[in-house]
Structure 1
Amino acid sequence: MNAGSRIPLWIIALLAALCLGVLAWTTFGFVVPFKHETGQAVLDVYFAGYDELTVGRMQRLLEQNEVADNLLRAMYFGPELIFPALLATLLFLVILRLRTAIPDQARPTGSLVLKAIYALPFVYGVTDYGENISSLIAFGDSTSASFAAAILPWMTKLKFASLAVCLILIVRFAIIRYMALGPREDR
């Protein structure tokens, strides 16, 4: 019996529900009010990425709008403190469960490949926290604000890239598992 096959589905379902709840809290408690207050979206939701000019515009906007600045800081010190850890854990457990449930001949081989696959959710979590910290520094009065503003777009790109690869792996493992085991053996 593999370690991943011992992960109960209710734990994965609970983590998924918690992630959805925290995502809803972030969206309806901070992202939507921020958009309503400023007419702009928070940088965290720019899936296609952004550049330093966008960061500079956001810096000027937050300097002029105290309500928006307070909303953004409250978001980073509220739901964004727990969401990256919850989602990284969920991604890791789903990858572990799906990967160990597929037949040996369809599994990725090589310990380096497996380590990279299992590390990917944690890369997402670390880069999401890095993006949050960079945002707080870039939009604050720190002497490191210009450096944080320069790396912020790269942190966001790395965050979404690692998340996308995790989701692709999950879909791939789910398809392989379905094809190997059939629809009736899903436990």
Structure 2
Amino acid sequence: MKAGSGIPLWIITLLAALCLAVLAWTTFGFVVPFKHETGQAVLDTYFAGYDESAVFHMQKLLDGNETAARLLSAMYFGPELIFPALLTALLFLAFLRLGPVDAWFGRSLHPLVGRAVYLLPFVYGIADYGENIASLIAFSDSPSAGLAAQLLPWMTRLKFLGLAISFIVLVRLAIARWLSPGRD
């Protein structure tokens, strides 16, 4: 048995199922109705990113559409309170399940490299919560709305960067482990 494989697969599977359920709740309960109400997508779904003018446009759209503003707020106080934590836990436990970093690369690595790899899911999680907080502030009457509007596009980019790097590293490591001669 390799170190790290003590994380039961059923826990990872359960977390993955919960992530899919909350993602479905977000999508069908808030994102689709928001798009139907406004004709615009929620900024959180812009994978390619957006700029401050998109945030300004969304602010104007929400100022004129109370239903859309309530939908967006409910999304952030509903599934978006849960999803980043679930996905962060899923990614982190998947990294732990794959075992020690040295086993991933077949050679001894500097200890800081191993710790940095384990931090990747937390970069995603913190950035996602930061994006949610910045959205709530940017789309409110807060005196900090301007600053939040400037930060929001960067938080979204950091969120997707952390998520993409985590997935790429996980897939690479899973393939390397699967192809290794001493796999479980």
* 1:111-169 alpha-carbon deviations (Å, 9 max, x no partner): 11111100110111000000000000000000000000000000000000000000011
Q: Could you tell me which amino acid in structure 1 is paired with residue 141 of structure 2?
A: D
TM-score where L is the length of structure 1: 0.93
| Structure with a larger share of its residues in helix | 1
Q: Taking structure 1 as reference, are residues 68 and 105 closer, same or farther at Cα in structure 2, changes over 3 Å only?
A: closer
Q: 4+ runs of 1 displaced by more than 3 Å? A: 99-105
Q: Please report the RMSD computed on the Cα atoms of aligned residues, expressed in angstroms.
A: 1.8
Counterpart contact for 1:99–1:173, Cα < 8 Å: no
Give the aligned length.
184
Q: Taking structure 1 as reference, are residues 107 and 19 closer, same or farther at Cα in structure 2, changes over 3 Å only?
A: farther
Q: Taking structure 1 as reference, are residues 99 and 108 closer, same or farther at Cα in structure 2, changes over 3 Å only?
A: farther
Question: Which residue pairs with 1:10 in the alignment?
Answer: 10
Question: Which residue pairs with 2:85 in the alignment?
Answer: 85
Q: Taking structure 1 as reference, are residues 104 and 19 closer, same or farther at Cα in structure 2, changes over 3 Å only?
A: closer
For residues 107 and 75 of structure 2, the distance between their equivalents in structure 1, rounded to whole angstroms, comes to 39
For residues 107 and 43 of structure 1, the distance between their equivalents in structure 2, rounded to whole angstroms, comes to 42
> Percent identity, aligned pairs only?
67
Q: Could you tell me which amino acid in structure 2 is paired with residue 83 of structure 1?
A: F
Question: Which residue pairs with 2:66 in the alignment?
Answer: 66
Question: Which residue pairs with 1:31 in the alignment?
Answer: 31
Is 1:167 aligned to residue 167 of structure 2? Answer: yes
Q: Could you tell me which amino acid in structure 2 is paired with residue 134 of structure 1?
A: A
For residues 174 and 104 of structure 1, the distance between their equivalents in structure 2, rounded to whole angstroms, comes to 8
For residues 20 and 102 of structure 1, the distance between their equivalents in structure 2, rounded to whole angstroms, comes to 31
For residues 96 and 156 of structure 2, the distance between their equivalents in structure 1, rounded to whole angstroms, comes to 25
Q: Could you tell me which amino acid in structure 2 is paired with residue 6 of structure 1?
A: G
Q: Could you tell me which amino acid in structure 1 is paired with residue 7 of structure 2?
A: I
* 1:68-112 alpha-carbon deviations (Å, 9 max, x no partner): 000000000000001000000000011111244984762671111
For residues 50 and 104 of structure 1, the distance between their equivalents in structure 2, rounded to whole angstroms, comes to 35
**Equivalent residues in 2 for 1:1-187 (5 A)?**
4-100=4-100, 103=103, 106=106, 109-181=109-181, 186=184
Q: Taking structure 1 as reference, are residues 144 and 16 closer, same or farther at Cα in structure 2, changes over 3 Å only?
A: same
Residue ranges of structure 1 left out of the alignment (5+ in a row): none
Residue ranges of structure 2 left out of the alignment (5+ in a row): none
